Amino acid sequence: MKAAVVHSFEEPPRLGDFDEPVPGEDEVTVRVEAAALSQLARSQAAGTHYSSVNTPFVPGADGVGYTEDGQRVYFAFPRSPWGSMGEYTAVKKSHVVALPVHVDAVRFAALANPAMSSLAALVHRAQFIKGESVLINGANGVSGRLAIQIARILGARRIVVTARNARSRNELLELGADAFIALANGRESVVADVKTHLLVGFDVVLDYLWGTPAEWVLEGIAAAAKRPKPNRVRFITIGASAGAATALPSAWLRSGPLELLGSGLGSVPTPNLVGAVAQVADILRSHTLPIDAVGVPIHGVSTQWTSGAKSRVVFTF
């Protein structure tokens, strides 16, 4: 079969031939229709994600396709070395979600993983309760923008967002955020703003950045914890686009009701991650989740992998 194949972590995948998978007893074969170029897929192909496998392999963590009986499905976490960026892949039956035939494959493939990231973090890690408030650290990316909308759909009372680019403020407020913190203003300003907003109240932090921006937010939470009755805050780290490490003085964890958690492969059981995508499909029945996506034939994989396209790239077959 034709597939994008990772031969080296130092270069992008290239189109080539790869053996077709033979499904196991608990698996189904999926004929792939669309597979998104997600940050997870990029990291796995670069060998930098904790779930990366040995080369050669077909990259891609999820997609949209058809099972052998003709059912349109979303599928996730195919069996290695067959990722989603090949004509066929093998997936556990429990990792497949039925989709209506009218669902746009490119659009759903583009939004499934980033939308799942916030929904799974809120529901399964934060144990979010309707009426609570959320701070989204790094809201200007695809995942962060979807997180604003999903938090609001789940019943968030108030949503505070941060972003590096202050020019994104109005767009993020239009998506449903109530307040904006500009990371470009630097540590002192961010710490003060986080402290001020926490005095008004937020209960959950969804962090897509880690690194220095996460440190500033955590410092602001620690500063607010010095008041007589500090808020209980669940800080959920989802991504690390601003750095793999952050400073975390132990006093910040000991001085107030701060809970530090992660959300992703391993910390959330796979059935719950797949179930979160099923919830996304249900949300789409009554809500619109805008996403800027473009379908690209798989033969353009090497060029598109490093293109830096602003739209979310989805490879099609």
Tell me the per-residue pLDDT of 11-43, one tens digit each, with 9 for 90 and over: 999 999 999 999 999 999 999 999 999 988 999
For residue 171, pLDDT over 80 is answered with yes
Which tens digits make up the pLDDT trace of 119-151?
999 999 999 999 999 999 999 999 999 999 999
3-state secondary structure the chain: CEEEEECCCCCCCEEEECCCCCCCCCEEEEEEEEEECCHHHHHHHHCCCCCCCCCCEECCCEEEEEECCCCEEEEECCCCCECCCECEEEEEHHHEEECCCCCCHHHHHHHHHHHHHHHHHHHHHCCCCCCCCEEEECCCCHHHHHHHHHHHHCCCCCEEEEECCHHHHHHHHHHCCCEEEEHHHCHHHHHHHHHHHHHHCCCEEEECCCHHHHHHHHHHHHHHCCCCCCCCEEEEECCCCCCCCCCCCHHHHHCCCEEEEECCECCECHHHHHHHHHHHHHHCCCCCCCCCEEEEEHHHHHHHHCCCCCCEEEEEC
Rounded Cα distance, 1 and 64, in Å: 17
Q: What is the pLDDT of residue 47?
A: 94
Which tens digits make up the pLDDT trace of 78-122?
999 999 999 999 999 999 999 988 889 999 999 999 999 999 999
Mean pLDDT across the chain, nearest whole number? 95
Residues β-bridged to residue 237: 207, 262
Q: φ, ψ for residue 214 (rounded to 5)? A: -65, -40
Tokens at 253, concatenated: 């964890």
Q: Are strands 179-182 and 204-207 parallel, antiparallel or unpaired?
A: unpaired
Q: Are strands 159-163 and 134-137 parallel, antiparallel or unpaired?
A: parallel
The radius of gyration of the chain from alpha carbons, rounded to an integer in Å, stands at: 20
Q: Are strands 62-67 and 27-36 parallel, antiparallel or unpaired?
A: antiparallel
Q: Which domains does the chain have, with CATH numbers?
A: 2-103+284-316 (3.90.180.10), 114-262 (3.90.180.10)
Q: What is the pLDDT of residue 93?
A: 96
Global confidence as pTM: 0.91
Of the chain, the percentage scoring pLDDT greater than 90 comes to: 89
Rounded Cα distance, 309 and 42, in Å: 14
* Among the listed residues 106, 140, 146, 180, the one whose alpha carbon sits nearest the alpha carbon of residue 310: 140
Encoded amino acid at 37, one letter: L
Which tens digits make up the pLDDT trace of 211-251?
999 999 999 999 998 877 788 999 999 999 999 999 999 99
